A and B are shown apart, each in its own frame.
Chain A
Amino acid sequence: AQSVTQPDIHITVSEGASLELRCNYSYGATPYLFWYVQSPGQGLQLLLKYFSGDTLVQGIKGFEAEFKRSQSSFNLRKPSVHWSDAAEYFCAVALTSGGYNKLIFGAGTRLAVHP
């Protein structure tokens, strides 16, 4: 069955430090992968997505992610974290049988940023 694993439930970094959030997926076919961010009590905002092509994907707010098929991973990175990046981050895979938009989410990683 398709699944998404985010190994880190909670991460704390200092402002200005680099960030990497891990995501591993289990899916039989070529995956469509997404990273979303959620602020408390809010909906989800798409940071970036991977469908095909270049395995390094650039997103909004200075985020990027790299698709590595051999590792079944799609880790999210940012070179320098800002205090406003504190939020919950979700990795998701789309089920192609249900169309691009039927998403299976990971458990999420809560990011805290120290000043």
Chain B
Amino acid sequence: GAVVSQHPSRVICKSGTSVKIECRSLDFQATTMFWYRQFPKQSLMLMATSNEGSKATYEQGVEKDKFLINHASLTLSTLTVTSAHPEDSSFYICSASQTGGSEAFFGQGTRLTVV
């Protein structure tokens, strides 16, 4: 099956700094990737849809200036959490699908802790 890789798997950063999370489709091209956030013992909430070569589409309530998304190639999307605060601590997961495909493949997730 298709593989999606997320990096890093864990990151700890100081409050006020920025953190970049990468999502790569290793063996297929993904025109669309999705970023989700998961709080402890809760479900996944869609944050934004990342489209290759264009601006991301953010869900209601998600600050686009805080969560910067770049999808510069068909195999890579990045999520940058800017000026991170402790309340941004969460589990972030990306998914990607092949062009015209019907299944989303998920990355392993990134555990972000802001101290």
Contacts and interface: CB of A to CB of B under 8 A. Distances in A.
Interface of A: 32, 36, 41-46, 49, 51, 90, 98-108, 110
Interface of B, helix, strand, loop or mixed by DSSP: strand
7 contacts: A42-B108, A43-B6, A45-B106, A46-B105, A100-B97, A103-B95, A105-B45
Given A43-B107, A43-B109, A104 B95 contact: no
A102 B42 contact: no
A107 B106 contact: no
Given A46-B103, A101-B34, A41 B44 contact: no
B109 A108 contact: no
Contacts, number: 61
B43 A106 contact: yes
A100 B101 contact: yes
Interface string B22-54: 000000000010100000011111100100000
Contacts of B4: 43
Nearest to A49: B103
**Most chain A CB within a 10 A radius of its CB, from B41, B43, B102, B106:** B43
B104 interface: yes
B111 interface: yes
